[in-house]
Amino acid sequence: MQRMPWRLLLNWSDSISTGSRAGGTLEIRHGIPVSPGIVISEALVLDSEELRIPQRFVEDQYIDSEIDRFKQAVDDSNKVLDLEIKRLGEEIEIHARILSVHRDLASDPVLHKEIEQSIRDNSFTAEHALSRVMNRYVRKLQDLNSPILSERIHDLQDVEKLLLSTLLGKRIEGLSNLQDEVVVIAHNLTPAQTAKLDPKMVKGFATDVGGKTSHTAIMGRALGIPAVVGLDDISTSVVGGDQIIIDGYRGAVIINPDEGQIAEYRARALKSEKLSRRLKSQAKLPAETIDGHRVEVHANIELPSEVESAVECGAAGIGLYRTEFIHLQAPSSGEEVHFENYRSVLESLGGLPLTIRTLDLGGDKLPEGGLEEENPFLGCRSIRWCLANPGPFRAQIRAILRAGELGPVRLMLPMITSISELDLSLQIIDEVADELRREEIPFDENIPIGVMVEVPSLALIASHVAGRVSYLSVGTNDLVQYTLAVDRGNEHVASLYDPMHPAVLYLISQLVRTGQEHGVRVSLCGEMASESIYLPLLVGLGLREISVSPQLIPEVKQVIRSLIDYEVRELSARCLQMSDGEQITRELHRWAVDHFPEVVDRF
């Protein structure tokens, strides 16, 4: 493969000012706030190898040695590439040609000149100068929107990784073994990566993609770390070691903030922390309106380790235990692994109720060996996956029924779309119960069984469902998605994802009414209940049980304690007459400013 394309590319981009953002120019980005809080820390830009740049600047007397380090890294990297090219030979010619391109790019004198100039002009370390220069090339190619040139982005990134690993002595720092506090910057975080985030070291994260209710956002809230998603190209705008402010209340990310902004955000963070401490000190108080209407506030959790925090924050129980990670972390995990997880949670709850959702695999939580589907959120997901894979489903049901002997447990079936689907699921539960009886294994004979109402088809036939189950739980994350035909994890249509859309509110209000008519409890466990300004409306609609992320419970309970039932019923009635979601949101915001301004002020 010829060198000329890279020479042309580098000559073309030589017109880019080498001083652009060189000194760490301030830049403000706005995305979707998904987990509240404010953090100021250095960036770890995450890629497949998780290389971390530990130092950005050197003293002037070491500049020449930094340039020598860079040149040596190029020589060492090229030796590695030459050996690999020789080894491949003609056996795998296309791979050898790709490596030849990488060698030519790493050796290009134009690239060397720009990196060396960046080291001299800014006292950058070799690693930091390399990343800044390569990032400028990547961003320029991205801006061209050329399919041909966009393929060269991967070559640039591969060469950067190679040179960085050589400079760093191949020191690779993963999410699970960080040595310093950081904020993670990434294109995206998979559920597995998010599960590895240690909140003691990872103080926040920001991603190019994602939405308010994407799984990554839910995990951010579960871990209690500030997060902003949907930032488009933040992963190529930030270099490892940059100082970053993440504002998880307002969705702002500030790259290399000035002293004034740092002081401003530290003051805001301090004020917010004081309010959070005060709210947490009152967390054990009941969530009861001024005129005596009690609302149970439960916690949503993914991991047993979250239970302690939920109890400390005043949870009335666990309203949603997402069990997918038990399966994702150990796909062959069977009944006993599930049972031990449930036992651990129940012991930590000390008699408080636990609602266990059966496996909601598929969508953005693809199991090992799962189908690669064009539209996984409309494919073999959740209860469909369970019915198609009865082995893991039956093993989990056995564990849940047995756990019912250890404490108050409720079983919840997700993504039910029809009566036939529900009846088949209930039949399997009956069969598993019969098996346990024959084996003389103790289990809860009267375990409450409920369904998550997440699709309009089930919401519209709720009166037929109510006679078959013990309770209904409104899963607003998916109910909004499927009602409005908006991918909840797609930042490009994030503005269309509107929990206050009149159609969504109509479905929720009808579900509450159906529950009242049939004597079936209706709860809400979606992220809608996490938004303080929505709470008066939800309470006014008649909801008396909600479930949110643990760290949000003190604030939610405080807001509920500020409400008067007849006032919020009047508020909800007004909102149901409105035809536009934005109009409803404005009305709720005005109402919140009048009734709990201290909470609203943070957003």
Q: Parallel, antiparallel, or unpaired: how do β-strands 354-357 and 409-413 relate?
A: parallel
Q: Which two tokens stand for residue 377?
A: 């959120």
pLDDT at 19: 37
Report pLDDT for 278.
Answer: 93
Distance (Å) of CA 377 to CA 311, 374, 455, 482:
33, 9, 12, 9
Question: Length of the chain in residues, anyone?
Answer: 603
Query: What are the Cα distances from residue 220, in Å, to 116, 204, 312, 366?
Result: 39, 8, 19, 19
Q: Where are the alpha helices (DSSP H) in 227-258?
A: 234-237
Query: What is the distance of C-alpha 108 from the center of its chain?
Result: 40
pLDDT, tens digit, 9 for 90 and up, residues 150-195: 556 767 777 887 888 888 875 545 566 677 899 999 888 866 567 6
The gap from C-alpha 387 to its chain's centroid, in whole angstroms, comes to: 27
Amino acid at 500: M
How does pLDDT run across 14-40, given as a tens digit for each residue?
Answer: 443 333 344 457 899 999 998 999 999
Q: How many helices (H) and strands (E) does the chain have?
A: 25, 16
Unique residue bearing structure tokens 């519209």: 460
Provide the pLDDT for residue 15.
Answer: 40
Per residue in 249-264, pLDDT (tens digit) is 999 999 999 999 999 9
SS3 content of the chain, % helix, strand, coil (to 5): 55, 15, 35
Q: Which residue has the higher pLDDT, 389 or 541?
A: 541
pLDDT tens digits along 393-441: 999 999 999 999 999 999 999 999 999 999 999 999 999 999 999 999 9
Give the model confidence (pLDDT) of 313-329 as tens digits.
Answer: 999 999 999 998 787 66
Distance CA 264, CA 261 (A): 5
Residue 92 pLDDT: 45
Residue 117 Cα to chain centre, angstroms:
39
Higher per-residue pLDDT: 478 or 375: 478
Which has the closest alpha carbon to 321: 273, 368, 278, 358? 358
- Max Cα-Cα span within the chain: 82
For 87, 92, 93, 375, 409, the CA distances from 77, given in Å and listed in that order, are 15, 20, 20, 41, 58
Order of strands across the sheet with 243-247?
Answer: 27-30, 252-255, 243-247, 38-45, 182-186, 202-207, 227-229, 32-35
pLDDT at 3: 41
Report which secondary-structure segment, H or E, holds 250: none
- What span, in angstroms and rounded, lies between the C-alpha atoms of 63 and 68? 9
- Residue-wise pLDDT tens digits, 38-62: 999 999 887 644 566 767 788 999 9
- Among candidates 245, 302, 354, which has minimal Cα distance to 26? 245
Continuous segment of H or E residues that includes residue 173: none
| Cβ–Cβ under 8 Å, residues 576 and 506 | yes
pLDDT given at position 382:
84
Q: In sequence order, which residues have a C-beta less than 8 Å from that of residue 580 and are 6 or more positions away?
A: 502
Mean local confidence (pLDDT), 83-109: 66
Whether the Cβ atoms of residue 487 and residue 377 lie closer than 8 Å to each other: yes
**Considering the entire predicted model, what is its pTM?**
0.72
- The residues that are catalytic are 215, 525
Is residue 281 within 8 Å of 67, Cβ to Cβ? no
The 3-state secondary structure of 514-560 reads HHHHHCCEEEECCHHHHCHHHHHHHHHCCCCEEEECHHHHHHHHHHH
> What is the sign, positive or negative, of the torsion defined by CA atoms of 487, 490, 495, 500?
positive
Q: What average pLDDT does the segment 587-595 reach? A: 94
Using the structure block, give the residue that is written with the tokens 């791979």.
95
Task: Please name each of the domains of the chain with its CATH number.
Answer: 26-50+174-273 (3.50.30.10), 61-168 (1.10.274.10), 299-447 (3.20.20.60), 455-602 (3.20.20.60)
Cα distance between residue 172 and residue 99, in whole Å: 22
Mean pLDDT value across residues 144-152 = 60
- Are 11 and 110 within 8 A, CB to CB? yes
User: Once rounded to an integer, what is the mean pLDDT over residues 108-137?
Assistant: 89
Q: What's the one-letter identity of residue 103?
A: R
Q: How far is CA 237 from CA 46, 232, 250, 400, in A?
A: 12, 10, 20, 47
Tens digits of residue pLDDT in 346-372: 999 999 999 999 998 776 655 555 556
Do residues 563 and 504 make contact, with C-beta atoms less than 8 angstroms apart? Answer: no
pLDDT digits (tens, 9 = 90+) for 207-222: 998 887 777 787 788 7
Task: Provide the pairing of β-strand 32-35 with 449-453.
Answer: unpaired
User: CA 577, CA 168: separation in Å to the nearest integer?
Assistant: 62
Give pLDDT, residue 430.
97
E strand or H helix at 40, and its extent? Answer: strand 38-45
**What is the residue whose two structure tokens read 């997880």?**
341
* Residues 517-533: tens digit of each pLDDT: 999 999 999 889 989 99
Mean pLDDT for all residues in the chain: 86
C-beta of residue 224 within 8 angstroms of C-beta of residue 198: no
Quick one: tokens of 407? 């404490």
Give which of 284, 319, 283 is closest to 299, Cα–Cα.
319
pLDDT in tens, 446-499: 999 999 999 999 999 999 999 999 999 999 999 999 999 988 767 678 789 999
Which residue reads 């020589």 in tokens?
A: 75
Judge residue 476's burial from the number of C-beta atoms within 10 Å of its C-beta, 0-12 exposed, 13-18 middle, 19 or more buried: buried
Element (H, E) at 420: helix 419-438
